[in-house]
Amino acid sequence: MTKIIDADTDLTNITPARRYLVATDGACRGNPGPGGWGAILTSFDVDRLPRTKSLSGAKRHTTNNEMELTAAIRALTRLPVNDVPALVQSDSQYVVNGMNEWRHGWEANDWRTSAGKPVKNRELWEALIAAVGDREVTWEWVRGHAGHQGNETADQLANKAIDRMLHGNRA
């Protein structure tokens, strides 16, 4: 299930005691070109300090949209299978609007856009929907490169993954 929230929503009234916060980002040098993805997963529980895990990866020939989707897929598939809700923050309007607005129309139209064309990256969209499963996930757009800590860290992870792939080092 996907919930839509406004960026001005007061989360103190809807934030459960146990939850996940996921910040994702994709990067591409050339589009298409070498790309990377990064994600920060933070687990909040009422009885513990927050726990954070970082993930990243890269691909030699890809697009930015593919990396944005991959970051969300890889992050959600790393969460334990449970009913704990997640807030996914992304600077990709493509990912956020796709999950909040477009996906239901695509599914109803046999994965065709309103113009009748096949949906690009269908396999990744289907993988993202499967990764969500029955979990309550809220998708939130954040402005990229504007000081949002989670997004900035995910961006750094994505770019370091590209560097490691291209230069074979542990940058």
Tens digit of each residue's pLDDT (9 = 90 or more) over 51-92? 999 999 999 999 999 999 999 999 999 999 888 999 999 999
Structure tokens at 12: 């103190």
- Structural domains in the chain? 2-6+16-165 (3.30.420.10)
Strands 19-28 and 33-45: antiparallel
**Is there a contact between 18 and 35 (Cβ–Cβ < 8 Å)?**
no
Our CA dihedral for 133, 137, 142, 147, rounded to 10 degrees, sits at -100
Q: Annotated catalytic sites, by residue?
A: 25-26, 68, 91, 145, 155
pLDDT value at residue 168: 84
Ranges of the chain with pLDDT below 70:
1-16, 169-171
pLDDT value at residue 164: 97
pLDDT value at residue 1: 54
This model's pTM is above 0.85: yes
E strand residue ranges, the chain:
2-4, 19-28, 33-45, 48-62, 86-90, 137-141
Helix axes 64-78, 122-132, angle to 10 degrees: 20
